[in-house]
Amino acid sequence: MKEGVIGILGLGAMGQIIAKDLHDSFKGKVVYLVRNPSSIKEIAKKYRAEVRIVDISKPESLVKAFKGIDVIIHAVHHEFNVRVMEACLEANCHYVDLGGLFHFTREQLKLNEEFKRKRLTAVIGMGASPGITNVLAKYGAQGLEKVEAVQIRIGMKDFSKYKRVSPLSASYSLQTLLEEFSWKPAVWKNGKMVFVEPLSGREPYVFPKPIGKQKPQYTIHSELATLPFTLRAKNVSFKIAFDDDFVEKVMLLKRLGLTKDEEIEIKHNKINIKSFLVEVLKQLPKSIPKKIEQYEIIRVVVKGIKEKKSKTIILDTKIHSVNETIDKETGVPPSIVAQFILSNQIKERGVFPPELIIPAESFFKELTKRKIFIFQNNKRIN
């Protein structure tokens, strides 16, 4: 594998998983791009990474910090995706991110020509979902003459034992979660994009054991911005299950007006309600596990026609996480794909969703190394 330089922009929960995976699998140089270097001093020392200071609110700061880096993995919030991509264009870096929650994804795709012109690659939405889901959808659709439906369903069950449980623990960015709970989910129905009510479609669905019955709900997600068009599917939907207690708590915050994306005046200062809420929630004590044991299933059901017969392919990514965080399936794919770009396993230039550019077999092999397994109709394929 060609060595090179990979930069991780943002060393939050996901950024740190990416950092660990790069440390374990990448021989080149890694640069951490952060606002506050003191918060990551230990991890930078442990993984022997270079640290550069950036201020994501200032594009010129990004361009300056990106110089000399081959691939940027963007692990800060998706609202900055376009800005970071533009900085990559200016600094001549390839780009990988974790998703754009549908609306940002659409904006990002508009940069395709500029990335092509600069001979650069951007892989957008390359976590677990979006990311693994897109690759599975493409893999399932291969060989089908017509794709009738792509149904993405995510289920999780936590068997961990805790010393202390956080009053509102989320498995990923609270800001993203709040957006997912308030923005209207996109659903591709009979060849048309419709936007349904947030939290709608919450119906019982049986995942393979040990997850069992859950109630996944429609949620705004990046997959919907590309799969209907790249796979020419007739129907595409995305649903994720949260436990009842969590849904009830977030809905309560919403009913109280605490999740509104609007300004409020407090003692002559105007602040955004949702942004301030996120800051308050960030201060919550984290859950302290005694023993971690979590299961997650990322399921993609592809239905279509092959040789005039209906065919259903069920692809499951099963993650059983013991004594490590379940989020690794989100942090691992961008690390793999950044290395694919460096090693020329990905050669195409432009802006791509994962289903158009990721070599599925090689990708699955890399997942196997990280104990993330794919099952097709309940049979392991990696």
Partner 1 sequence: MKVDFVVLGATGDQGRICSKDLLQAGYTVLLAGRNPDPIQDLLKNKKASFMQVDVRDIKKTAKVIKDSGAKIVLNCVELTWNIEVMKACLLANAHYLDLGGLQEMTIKQYKLEREFKKRKLLALLGCGSTPGIANVMAKHAVEQFDKVDHIDLGFAWDSNIKEFVIPYSIESIVYELTTPAIVLEKGKFKKSKACYFEGTNKFRGVGLQNLYCIVHSEVYTFHKYFKKMGLKNVHYTAGFPEHSHRVIKFLIDLGFSSKEEITVKGTPITILDFTREVLKKKKHPKNYEETENVWVKVTGVDEDMNKTIMMECLTTTLKGYEEAGSNINTGMSISIMGQLFLKGKIDKIGILAPEACVPSQDFFEELAKRKMFVYQDGKKIN
CB of 251 to partner 1, least distance (A): 11
Span from 129-137, 238-246, 275-283, 352-360 in contact with partner 1 (CB under 8 A): 275-283
Query: Would you say 264 and 175 are in contact if contact means Cβ atoms under 8 Å apart?
Result: no
In the complex with partner 1, the residue whose CB is nearer, 270 or 379, is 270
Counting residues that bind partner 1 (by CB under 8 A) gives 22
Q: Does 38 bind partner 1 (CB under 8 A)?
A: no
Strands 94-97 and 121-123: parallel
Task: Write b or e for each residue in 109-138: b if 16 or more Cβ atoms lie within 10 A of its Cβ, otherwise e.
Answer: bebeeebeebebbbbbbbbbbbbbbbbbbb
Q: How far apart are CA 19 and CA 3, in angstroms?
A: 16
In the chain, the amino acid numbered 232 is: R
Query: Quick one: which of 190, 283, 323, 344 contacts partner 1 (CB under 8 A)?
Result: 283
Stretch 235-254 residues interacting with partner 1 (CB under 8 A):
249, 252
Q: Does 165 bind partner 1 (CB under 8 A)?
A: no
40: left (phi over 0), alpha (psi -120 to 50) or beta: alpha
CA distance readout (Å), 127 to 2, 134, 170: 23, 10, 17
Tokens 């794909």 identify what position? 337
In the complex with partner 1, the residue whose CB is nearer, 255 or 309, is 255
CB of 131 to partner 1, least distance (A): 31
In the stretch 284-323, what mask flags binding to partner 1 with x, by CB under 8 A? x---------------------------------------
Query: Would you say 56 and 76 are in contact if contact means Cβ atoms under 8 Å apart?
Result: yes
Query: Quick one: which of 36, 38, 204, 266 contacts partner 1 (CB under 8 A)?
Result: 266
CB of 271 to partner 1, least distance (A): 5
In the stretch 190-219, what mask flags binding to partner 1 with x, by CB under 8 A? ------------------------------
Q: Which two tokens stand for residue 55?
A: 């201020």
CA dihedral 106, 316, 381, 333 (to 10 degrees): 40
Residues lying near partner 1 in the complex (CB under 8 A) are found at 167-168, 249, 252, 255-258, 264-267, 269, 271, 273, 275-276, 279-281, 283-284
